[in-house]
Amino acid sequence: MIESNKYKPKFLDEVVTVWDRERPELEASLAGTLVDRAPWRVDGEDSSGRMRLRLATPAEAVARAIETAELLVKACRKKGWIHITPSIINKPKPKAKPKT
């Protein structure tokens, strides 16, 4: 979904701001980045005792990426490294200045 907002600043005729209404949360963005980072899984050993690898199934890759992203975001929030920005639409009105 896409949403827009029209406003008329004093120095321009008209400005239209457009943005997506459906945005992935931070966890979803990270999971999308991580999903293809570690596609290999250990699948036992060969006859020489070396690790045998196989390509992870899509379900395994997605599950691992989501779990990793959730843990990362949780740890970052606990440390205070993630901040919430105010909305551009529901901006609070400025308080009236007291008369002196």
C-beta of residue 62 within 8 angstroms of C-beta of residue 34: no
Q: What are phi and psi of 19, to 5 degrees?
A: -150, 160
pTM of the model: 0.58
d(CA 68, CA 63): 9
Instruction: Read off the pLDDT of each residue in 67-77 and give the average, rounded to a whole number.
Output: 91
Q: Measured in whole angstroms, how far is the alpha carbon of residue 53 from the centre of its chain?
A: 30
Tokens of 46: 């060969």
Q: Tokens 């990362």 map to which residue?
A: 72
Q: Pick 22 or 79 by higher pLDDT.
A: 79
Domain map (residue ranges) of the chain: 24-83
Task: Give the model's pLDDT for residue 36.
Answer: 75
C-beta of residue 76 within 8 angstroms of C-beta of residue 59: no
